[in-house]
Structure 1
Amino acid sequence: MHTSPLVDQHGHGVLHGDLGLGTFERHLAAALGGPAGTGSAYDTTTGLALRRWCPPLLGLPPHCTAVRYLARRRELGAYAASRALLRGSGIHTYLVDPSIPGADRDGTEEPVTAIGELASAAGTRAHELAALEAVAGEAADRGGGVRTFAQDIAQALHGAARRAVAFVCDAAALREPGPPEPAEVRRAAGRWLACGRRRSEPALTGHLLWAALACGLPVQLRCADPEPLVPLLRATAGRAPLVLLPRRPHHEAAARLAAAFPHVYADVGPEPAVTLARAPFGKLLFSTGARALPELHVVRVRQYQRAMTRLLGEWITQGDCSREDARRIADRISGGTARRIYRLDERPAQTG
């Protein structure tokens, strides 16, 4: 089904260098939510989809072996292979989180492309998502210490709001629904600065979130089960949009919350049939969540498109909606809602 230009509302950069079989499989396993060595990552639905959709973009037949595929990848070189895969994904606009979510860190992180590099390789537009953890780091780098930390955070947030289309927050670090008291924030900032910024401080995260909401940009909330966030969602009613980015299997719960709160949106997830049954169509957005491997952008786009085509095709066949309705629904989820809430047509983008 043809839709308007596709917006990936949350993803990351891709790796720079050539990859061996073991390294490639490790990153593929990480994308599936588990460590390498627990079974072949190729022997999964994602692995099968990769072997179906990615080889033709590199000039190989579908379903070729992993060894042959990676040999072709190395033959082309990392940049040329990434360029072909990203440009073949069908994504028109990327919203890029340059940070590494805390839950995804395994101590073996490798540098990935910056936002401008991703836009150049993909030959399209890319916008920044400003991670609140990184904003706190910018504030700390100003060197004012605890005494000026709140002021430094405000200045860092203001700077981030000028260049980014949204903020990103790790919701696992949030404990209280309301903004913390200033004295509590100062104590948390002191502990955080003293330990070299290595520990999570819920009061500091809460302060960052509420200060970010005051900037007026949407805030994406990384979460596992979003149900514990209900008090926060209730407390933030009437403020900037919140977009839930849950992990499997919690997309259905996120969709229900998007239906319950006017300012809350949710990721459509890997099973649109489930989330579209729980939320108004205009409250759901597509993302790949891809990091490290450009193949993941291709795979997740194809899986999403096939799932939507199958679902909306069934609705049309059964007389539940017209073709015009189906196209409108697909347009909203694929990019229309993202362009509206992130104001993408008004914000500067890095382009390739």
Structure 2
Amino acid sequence: MRSVLIGNGVVIQHGGADYLNANIIQRGIDNIRAGCHPAHLYPRECADFVFALAKEHPAALNGDYDSYVFTTYDRMSLTDFKSRYDSARTYSATEIGFEDYFLLFELVHNKLSITNPERFNSRGVLRRMFLDSVFNKGKIESVHKQFSAGFVRWLKTHNHILTTNYDSNLEIATGLPVHHLHGSFNTLSEVYDPNSFRNQLEDDLLDGEKVDFDYPHLYSTCLVSYVGDLKSYSMTQSSLANTGMKKFVEGYQSNPDLRKQIDSWDESNDLVKRLKEAIQLKAEHPELEHSEQYPHEILGNISGTLEIVGLSPNNDGHLFEHILENKNITQIVFHHFSAQEAADAKQLFSSKNLSTRDVRDFWVDVNT
């Protein structure tokens, strides 16, 4: 069996420099300055916010924020963050990884003791600005027009196509199903789906947030985070919620004492009230479930050969952990862009049967 994992390098190869990190950030800033953005969904202050966070980049590298890290995964993320930049030089706003801005965001909010809902709302508008820039007014969805016939044929030789990309170019080009590990512009997040389980509850869980479906990509399942642990949590959240809810409902229906206890829960606490209502609602409508919007199990189920194209071995470690744990993956072919990437891949996959190949040679072969 053959599988392939595709990253953003494939979009850059065919869509050009527009999808490099620096240009994604610059485009977001330029769109705001030119007024070419949905100001009712993210304000012009987002551009100023990016520059304010960029000013904290040297402080974060030099350890000034070390005491404002409160979780294990944040501490690991900060360590990784420091390893990827040179503290002896200054980086412009466009040289900082756009997902790293979300780590800077958390560090600054920790230092200033800013909590929800302000923190949640500010994070949300920053996410929308960057997602809108990646979407590039929908142009990213046309990148497949630049795919060669040879590349499309090569894609079709695989049993499974997986990607960390948000766009739908792979499925359009091949006509095959594609596993979007980090979500898709074309899939509405359950948070905003009026027919979802969570939105059948009486409370307005959006807390009055106005949704404009003229911009569906801003309400999609796309995961944007500075740390793999948070992405992993988001990928498995629905599955865990369904399992937990099933156990609650089974007890509610089979144990009269538990049913009486749940029915008498104090509703003054919003979380308790929502859990109580959800249990009662699912007991009445067992078909209701949280939708599984991220195919998190696929990396544990594939077997045989896995080729990786367009991904850095230094990003998305949460995905590589699943690959390393899968003993049925017998060979990995890693297409690298530099000698350093090849060396890093060899270290990362030292326990696997690995071969590395210069991605430029790959493109020559599939395009001829």
In which range does the TM-score fall when normalised by the shorter chain? under 0.3
- Normalised by the length of structure 2, the TM-score is 0.26
More strand by share: 1
**Higher CA-based Rg:** 2
Higher relative contact order (Cα pairs below 8 Å, separated by 6+ residues) = 1
